[in-house]
Structure 1
């Protein structure tokens, strides 16, 4: 059962994370680049950003999704994402290693002016150095003026490799909360990982998606991210953590529902959040050998999932997962 459960978790994470087939994020494009087929995990993000003029490919018809991104390329990518394209000219950036006429000087100048980048203590920008995940998240979130106040004074670990108190904790904390990134089954987020063009495209695309949708979409993204995190916690046998994350998902979806109660997507997401909360409560009841409660919670979860599908067909995949895991639990009940 554990392998089947992990397969379902991965499917859900891919669905929500990449936008390839996510019901709330779905984007359809014809293949543009010879090296980015529709099966590529970054396909949807790359196609969307190219279509909107944020990114470009190479003259040979490739995108090179696995090519590393340096800091100069990263700041250009982020600023283009917010529609800020400096004019040609000479720019005194204040960084000793950025010539006035280098191609990225204007982007570095604008990035520093907006407080997106600050450089190194020795007065350099290090534009040729490959950007890591924490740096790119900071650039992206600063550019889109994300409110990081809820993540400034976090006392617990964001993940096994993201302790409280580091400079990147708020940025990684927000990114995880809204689904820009997801933890592995080992509860790692790899903040120091060097990023590729495909990975940067995916993060930027998700950030644009969240911000363009406003507060309601941000709440829905947080709810989806919490559901994925809860599923991963169940896989790691952290049932209490899963129940807690399900509660957070329910809170976020309820906030969205309070703002836009007429939206079928919001209604369906809220019902699914309730369904998953019941499902995780059923797992908890099972660990306590309270089998009557397992049956009760599973049936309630399945009913809520069915209601979500009635409201919006986009909920079908999540609802199917609720039914399958619920039925698996019921098959193990001893009354």
Structure 2
């Protein structure tokens, strides 16, 4: 059986010293999409600007979205039709080859008026449809159901957003909404691309463990930057990734330890958020569960003891503050 590597034995993972290497001058480790952006940059899927920036808050138009998706998937565009099916896409436009390659593959169909609207900012629903169609998504099984408050079952984007919401490709807000019409920034586009890659690599246990570690490494960074929601998102991703890794290799002690560690960190975040919300009993309960799960992680794999101890220390601090 292939050995799964884990870097937690260094004791540096959550000190910030082992945080994700930075690819762009304007994306530091406090950015909510930093793991996604740096992963995609390292993989050659996205590029920044000549000045070394990524501009994560900049909105993305439909032409740019297609380029990012097709180049990320390594879809050939050089043989795309030289003539355009859309009245607003000329053969000499820089984006024409991407639009026509996507049209030929059924990734996009354009608007009823015969336009593609390349310069219009891409919405979440449009981007999700593009990326899923690029990956041969079959929408039929996701039709006819309303799974989210703002995704009506008869909406054109319903099957795509239903899948995206269920699979974790996009995040729900506190009311369970997916916000299909919201225009996306470069950072948000990177996040969806990243999660899509995680889903596609669901059978690659080493990949899942590595990405889960990167997510867990962000938790303390986000908390220190007073962004508990981003920290909670990272803890949930860590759980999702390690649970899939555990399904792949349930007998591996390293994988089991990582799965329990991720769960302990998620419990710790629940304790932290409950404490902030003045839910004292809930915070105490979550902190106790974090301590218990961190102990289980340590017992499963002794190499995670330094981080398990870190989680237990933070949980005990929360309990002390609640009693104080």
| Runs (5+) with no aligned partner, structure 2 | 1-12, 216-235, 271-280
Q: Does 1:52 align with 2:43?
A: yes
What's the CA shift string for 1:78-119, capped at 9, x where partnerless? 011111242288622311211122111111111112211111
Output the CA distance in 2 between the equivalents of 1:154 and 1:130. Answer: 28
Q: What is the rounded CA distance, in whole Å, between the counterparts of 1:202 and 1:314 in structure 2?
A: 31
Displacement of 1:199 in angstroms is 1.2
**2:108 equivalent to 1:136:** no
Select the residue among 187, 190, 201 that pairs with 1:201. 190
Asked if 1:187 is matched to 2:176, the reply is yes
Aligned residues: 271
Gaps of 5+ in 1: 1-20, 225-245, 281-290
In structure 2, the CA distance between the partners of 1:194 and 1:296, relative to structure 1 (3 Å rule), is closer
RMSD between aligned alpha carbons? 4.6
**Residue 30 of structure 1: aligned partner:** 22
* Structure 1 residue 215: Cα displacement: 7.9
TM-score, L = length of structure 2: 0.64
Matched, 1:110 2:90: no
Alignment check: 8 A CA contact 1:272 1:315 kept: no
Shifted more, 250-259 versus 98-107: the winner is 250-259
Contact 1:89 1:101 survives alignment (8 Å): no
Match of 1:240 in 2: none
Shift of 1:173: 2.6
Partners of 1:151 and 1:266 lie apart in 2 by 32
Tell me the CA shift for residue 296 of structure 1.
11
Verify: 1:99 aligned to 2:90, yes or no. Answer: yes
Does 308-317 or 177-186 show the bigger shift?
A: 308-317
Superposed CA deviations along residues 188-213 of structure 1, whole A, max 9, x for unmatched, are 22111101111111211221232134
The 3-state SS of whatever aligns with 2:155 is: coil
SS in 2 for 1:214: coil
Partner of 2:161: 172
Q: Classify 1:217/1:75 alpha carbon distance in 2 versus 1 (closer, same or farther; 3 Å).
A: farther
Greater relative CO (CA pairs within 8 A, separation 6+) = 2
**Matches of residues 279-290 of structure 1 in structure 2 within 5 Å?**
none
TM-score by length of 1: 0.62
